[in-house]
Amino acid sequence: MLQYGQKSFLIVDDFTDFRTSTRSMLRELGVRDVDTADSGEQALRMCGQKRYDFVLQDFHLGDGKKNGQQVLEDLLLDKLISHECVFIMVTAESSQAIVLSAIEHEPDAYLTKPFNRVGLAQRLEKLVQRKTLLKPILQALDRGQPAQVLVACAELCKQDPRFAPLCLRYRADALRDLNRFDELEKFLKGILASRPQPWVYAALGNLMLKRGQHAQAQGVFEQALKAFPIMPSLYDGMAEALIAQGESKRAQHMLEEAVRLSPLAVRRQAALGKLALENADFDSASKAFRHAVSQGQSSRYKSAESNLGLAQALMNKNVGNGLDARTRVEINTVLSEVAKEHVEDQGLQVRARLMKAASLQQAGDAETAAKLTEQAMQRLEKMDQFFSVEAALTVAKQLQQLGQDAAGSSILKGCVETYGDDPKVMQSVAKLTDDPTVLGAVTEAVDLNRQGVRSYQGGQLSEALGMFRKALALQPKNISIALNTAQALLRIGGEVTPPALLQECRNCLTSVGGIPKSDSRYERYRKLHLRVFGA
């Protein structure tokens, strides 16, 4: 039998009886260091203070509390446990836990209640053996070195090829992290040809999505759902592929299916709410956002967007009918929460106030609505962050409805300046205004930017830079143009960028410093920022 005298254990269960009896089983196995927690929140705090070798986590920890899956995600994403830690999910019934689990974060093993001492000892011993076998891989994972993971996998496969299947997942993740996409595609297709598993389909589908091959991604997810129709995460991927192709109705249907199988998923509910809102299905939208808000209370994926979405959906649902008392209370509650929890976020403060004002106007209280609008506009003037496209459009529309056409136009102008190179954005803006000073502002800059990109791709860097500079002078807050200019400057500057170019580069980035974190170009912005400003 293994020696557990030096190992630390954490038992997480809301039942006192279970904690006691599991603890006494562990003691009989020679374990000396056992801590217990009765909630996920407590477990996270304890893992923050102490490195555990083993975590026995009960899946169900009561309604409104984090469940075992959420605890596992938090532990891994916040790096509170090492990959070498043995994490066992204890369940009364595992099929539910499997459906509720996220494909990307799986426990090392499930242990089904009831279990006895012999059964527990057997599982622990086997899992320790497995972790010992995989140790070099797990250590490389802890250090965040995907290249080393591949080396360790290759070594293990050479040493004992019979255990090669245990490395598949680690190899795929490492190839993805190293951006070796062609290899990854071939690798995943090879696995699918012999032994398909849900995670393989998900990895391949996501790879296609990342490359913008939306139709192929859809094909992969279709095939996946035929083989594994009860895996909610595969519906998520399918929905994403459909959204990218503009099929928002079918995408909504997919997410509804996923939510039916696994209703406990904050991000899925929020995504469903957003889709339903777009599809003008306000009943489904308010239902989904309501779930997202209430489940968000115990989740790392809590988001103010769900609160704002819920308020919006409730208002749209009742358009032309005022708002009843219950709805007003609900809107009030979710919006106050946003204002209270995001004191520093000017954008959210403005949006919550305007949403509130719009709801008051709908409820017939024009006077208070005007007062709130006034407050929101004062904050708006001082704001230096950019709204996301969706937020900008909503705010502009609300300002128009609240009788503030000038302020609405200025929001739209800002939106066009920042995002106007995207034709989809221009279409949406055109729905809200026909003012030529708003709509026509970008054409020239966008043309110059397009020519610049062409020259850049053709290797004519200084010509490209010239175009980008001209474009940027016209639209200094356009994210694409600013990032393109910065990139061209750095490329021309070479290894040691001359101070003047570096300064110009810094100015470019500073002018688009308001870029929202949710923007798809944020990562590119962050990397450039890191290069020219240092860490």
Q: Interface residues with another protein (CB under 8 A)?
A: 15, 17-18, 21, 24, 60, 92-96, 98-99, 110, 112-116, 118-119, 121-123, 126, 130, 162-163, 165-166, 195, 197-198, 228-231, 261
- Closer Cβ to another protein, 188 or 432, answer by number: 188
The nearest distance, CB 145 to another protein, in angstroms, is: 25
- Closer Cβ to another protein, 130 or 328, answer by number: 130
> CA–CA distance from 181 to each of 237, 304, 448 (Å)?
18, 34, 32
| SS3 per residue for 374-439 | HHHHHHHHCCCCCCCHHHHHHHHHHHHHCCCHHHHHHHHHHHHHHHCCCHHHHHHHHHHCCCHHHH
| Longest CA–CA separation in the chain, Å | 80
The nearest distance, CB 98 to another protein, in angstroms, is: 5
User: Which single residue is written with the structure tokens 């990959």?
Assistant: 83
Q: Which of 213, 259, 215 is nearest to 236 (CA)?
A: 259
The nearest distance, CB 119 to another protein, in angstroms, is: 4
The nearest distance, CB 126 to another protein, in angstroms, is: 4
The nearest distance, CB 99 to another protein, in angstroms, is: 5
The nearest distance, CB 346 to another protein, in angstroms, is: 39
- Closer Cβ to another protein, 261 or 439, answer by number: 261
The nearest distance, CB 168 to another protein, in angstroms, is: 8
- Closer Cβ to another protein, 22 or 449, answer by number: 22
CA–CA gap between residue 214 and residue 207 (Å, rounded): 10
- Closer Cβ to another protein, 265 or 308, answer by number: 265
- Closer Cβ to another protein, 198 or 466, answer by number: 198
Query: 257: Cβ–Cβ under 8 A, 6 or more apart, which residues?
Result: 235
Query: 272: Cβ–Cβ under 8 A, 6 or more apart, which residues?
Result: 252, 255, 256, 259, 284, 285, 288
Q: How many CB atoms lie within 10 A of CB 528?
A: 20
- Closer Cβ to another protein, 201 or 419, answer by number: 201
User: Which single residue is written with the structure tokens 């260091």?
Assistant: 33
The nearest distance, CB 59 to another protein, in angstroms, is: 10
Q: How many CB atoms lie within 10 A of CB 30?
A: 13
- Closer Cβ to another protein, 111 or 138, answer by number: 111
CA 434 to chain centre: 35
- Closer Cβ to another protein, 230 or 366, answer by number: 230
CA–CA gap between residue 242 and residue 221 (Å, rounded): 10
The nearest distance, CB 21 to another protein, in angstroms, is: 4
Residue 225 has phi, psi (to 5 degrees) of -70, -25
Residue 383 has phi, psi (to 5 degrees) of -80, 135
Cis peptide leading into residue 114 (ω within 30°): yes
The nearest distance, CB 510 to another protein, in angstroms, is: 49
- Closer Cβ to another protein, 98 or 178, answer by number: 98
The nearest distance, CB 91 to another protein, in angstroms, is: 9
| SS3 per residue for 112-126 | ECCCCHHHHHHHHHH
- Closer Cβ to another protein, 262 or 400, answer by number: 262
- Closer Cβ to another protein, 112 or 518, answer by number: 112
- Closer Cβ to another protein, 167 or 479, answer by number: 167
The nearest distance, CB 117 to another protein, in angstroms, is: 8
CA–CA gap between residue 399 and residue 203 (Å, rounded): 43
Hey, CA dihedral for 333, 335, 336, 338, is it positive or negative? positive
Partners of 86 in the beta sheet? 54
Question: CB of 175 within 8 A of CB of 183?
Answer: yes
Q: What counts of helices (H) and strands (E) characterise the chain?
A: 28, 5
Query: 483: Cβ–Cβ under 8 A, 6 or more apart, which residues?
Result: 508, 509, 512, 521, 524, 525, 528
The nearest distance, CB 230 to another protein, in angstroms, is: 4
Tokens read off for 320: 């032309």
87: part of which helix (H) or strand (E)? strand 86-91
338: part of which helix (H) or strand (E)? helix 325-341
